[in-house]
Structure formats: C-alpha cells, structure tokens
Amino acid sequence: LQPGEAARVFTGAPLSAGADAVVRQEAARPTDDGGHVDLFISVLPGHDLRRAGEEVLPGAPLFPAGQRVDATVLGVLASLGEATVLVRPAPRVAVIATGDELVPPGEPALSHQVFESNRVLVAALAREAGADVTHLARSRDDEEELLAHLERLAPRVDVLITTGGASVGDRDCVKRVLARMGARFLVDGVALKPGKPVAVARLGTTAVVVLPGNPGAATVAFDQFARPLLFKHQGVREERRVVRARLSEGRHKQAGLTYLVTVAALETRDDGPEPWARLRPQGAGQILQNVAARGWAVLPAGRADFQAGDSVDVQLFDPADFHAVEAA
C-alpha cells in the first residue's frame, strides 16, 4: 500500500505491506464509486494492530516452575502451537474409610448406623488438590481386614488416606495396624481442633495420612495436612491469603489448642478498616457449615476466651499463590 491507500482485511489476517493501522468495518464506508473509503474516526499508526511478540517475546520464559496447568494455561500453550508440556504427575491416592457403623449412601441405615460420607468427601478434596484418586475402599473396625486393605493398596499409590479409627478407643485400630506394618510416624496427634487425632506416617515409599472419622474434623485435618502433602508431591507450596478480621461473636475454647472456625463471610462495617468475620456454628461431626465458606478463623493456643470484636487471622480459601518447591 502507498500513503493514502487502504485495502480490506479480515480479522486476524496478515496486513498488506505498507499498512500501518486498521479501522473496523463499522467505522468505515466505501463510496458509491468504490474508489474511496470514508472513515468516521481518526486513527494513529498502530491502531488495532496485533504485533508479533507483543504478548511474549521469542525465547522469553512463559511460565515459572510450579505454575498450575488450568484452562487458561492450556489455552496459552495451544495458542503458541505447543502440543505437549513437561509437568509433574498427579499423585496417586487411595482412600480407606473405616468403621463398623458405616452404611453406603443409598442403602437403608439403622438407628445406630451412619451414612458413609468420608470416602466421597475426602476423594473429592483430593481431586480438588490435583490428585488422581485411583482406589476407594471401606473396612470394618477389624485389624486383619484393615491390614489386608493397607497391604493391597499402599504399594499402588503415592499417598494413602484413611478416615476413622484414628483416636484411642478400643476399636480405633488404624495407627496400631500401621505400626505393625513398620510405618514411621512423623506426626501423631496435634494441638488442633477439630482434627486433633490426625497422623502422618511413611510406609515404605508411600505417605499415609490418618484422618479422624468425624467429617468436620476430617475436613480440617485434610486441609491442614493432606492438602499440603499432595501439593508437595506436585512440586508446589500453596500460600493462602491471610487477613486480620474481627470476630462477629465470642468463642470459648480449650486454651492449649488452636481452633479453626468456619468463616461464612467477611463483612465491612463503618467502625474501622478491619472486616468482621461472621462465624458459623461448628462441630467435629458437621460439614454443612463448610458449604460456600470463605475460610478459617484461627483462634490460637494460649487463650481460652475470645470476645466479639477481637482481631484474629483468617485463612482465606479464595485463589491462593503457588510457589515451586522440591517435589516429595
């Protein structure tokens, strides 16, 4: 093209040599004789152009190590013609729910029985953390039956997660069976509520996380122990956003334990810069309070009583940052 000339071009097509701007069709109209084009806007050189390399320069790093591959990342890779990318494999996970009282959902339950929700819950939490859940099992509170499940599944997965049987009752046999198998316990009980009986062990090359049987406690223990472990297997560390917020109501707790309390919402009020954390009723056996939750209010050890208006840290569930670490 020479100065003062124009040519029609379709969206995304390469420009003719000499062209230095684009005017959209709705802002232009050819004259009746077809020899000229009337423009309804003024444009400068470079208007509506997409230059090669404007998004990323040749040879420049595209993503840092530890970048999670989500839909947008896949789209970027495809737009650059990449058909494959080197990633860390998803950790293989098995989930074993234990308990004589458990009944599968969909079957009738007697008054002393409960519907077995933990396998569904924990498997879904593991998948949300990027795991490949390859095996699901259920065991009675019987050491030999549990031993058979553990011996069968442990060699097949990277991480094995059990629920139930984690405390000190006569029928709580998970830790005893793992000890019989030679497991090396790295964590055996924590000063955390809910989730106090949680344990983490190494059984050969397999990591084992022992979660409490109460679904609410299992959720907290998974979040604080199994979730970071699964990310570690993928070579990343999750860093959640933490904000200071004021409690909407008082809470009494055991002074020697840290409590994680479900936050329903963060509310802005006219009495200061800190938001207010609206808490939900919470019990170790309850999980309804976690639906659409914003995060955990952290009530640290060392205090028994927290008053409405006290400031605490809140771990938010909204999108976190991920940092590359050496994979487990």
Are β-strands 184-188 and 102-103 bridged in parallel, bridged antiparallel, or unpaired?
Answer: unpaired
Q: What is the pLDDT of residue 316?
A: 97
**Residues 287 and 259 sit within 8 Å (Cβ to Cβ):** no
Side chain identity at residue 126, one-letter code: A
Query: Is a pLDDT exceeding 80 seen at residue 282?
Result: no
Domains, the chain, ranges and CATH?
1-51 (no CATH), 57-87 (no CATH), 92-234 (3.40.980.10), 242-321 (2.40.340.10)
Indicate the pLDDT class of residue 286, thresholds 50, 70 and 90. confident
pLDDT, mean over the chain:
93
CA 283, distance to chain mean position in Å, is 23
Q: What is the pLDDT of residue 58?
A: 85
Q: How far apart are CA 309 and CA 301, in angstroms?
A: 18
**Residues 21 and 49 sit within 8 Å (Cβ to Cβ):** yes
Distances 194 to 56, 190, 266, 311 between C-alpha atoms, Å:
47, 10, 22, 21
Query: Is a pLDDT exceeding 80 seen at residue 283?
Result: no
Query: Is-cis flag, bond preceding 194, omega within 30?
Result: yes
Query: Is a pLDDT exceeding 80 seen at residue 223?
Result: yes
pLDDT tens, 302-320?
Answer: 999 999 999 999 999 988 8
Closest alpha carbon to 176 in 144, 154, 219, 149: 144
pLDDT higher at 284 or 225: 225
Indicate the pLDDT class of residue 288, thresholds 50, 70 and 90. confident
Q: What is the pLDDT of residue 12?
A: 85
Closest alpha carbon to 104 in 134, 138, 136: 138
Tokens 């590359």 sit on residue:
324
Q: How far apart are CA 315 and CA 244, in angstroms?
A: 9
Query: Is a pLDDT exceeding 80 seen at residue 147?
Result: yes
Which residues, in sequence order, are bridge partners of residue 324? 236
Query: Is a pLDDT exceeding 80 seen at residue 139?
Result: yes
Closest alpha carbon to 274 in 302, 304, 244: 244
Q: What is the pLDDT of residue 287?
A: 84
- Mean pLDDT for the stretch of residues 84-103: 93
* Segment among 43-47, 52-56, 79-83, 233-237 with least mean pLDDT: 52-56
Q: What is the pLDDT of residue 35?
A: 85
Distances 3 to 7, 18, 42, 51, 85 between C-alpha atoms, Å:
12, 8, 16, 20, 45
pLDDT tens, 231-258?
Answer: 999 999 999 999 999 999 999 999 999 9
Query: Is a pLDDT exceeding 90 seen at residue 326?
Result: no
Q: How far apart are CA 13 and CA 142, in angstroms?
A: 69
Q: How far apart are CA 24 and CA 40, in angstroms?
A: 10
pLDDT tens, 70-83?
Answer: 899 999 999 989 99
Strands, E, within 145-288: which ranges? Answer: 159-163, 184-188, 192-193, 199-203, 206-211, 236-239, 242-247, 251-252, 258-267, 276-279
Query: Is a pLDDT exceeding 80 seen at residue 138?
Result: yes
Indicate the pLDDT class of residue 104, thresholds 50, 70 and 90. confident
pLDDT tens, 11-40?
Answer: 889 999 999 999 999 999 988 887 899 999
Q: What is the pLDDT of residue 184?
A: 98
Query: Is a pLDDT exceeding 90 seen at residue 170?
Result: no
High-pLDDT (> 70) share of the chain, %? 100
Q: How far apart are CA 303 and CA 62, in angstroms?
A: 47
Q: Residue 203, Cβ neighbours under 10 Å: how many?
A: 17
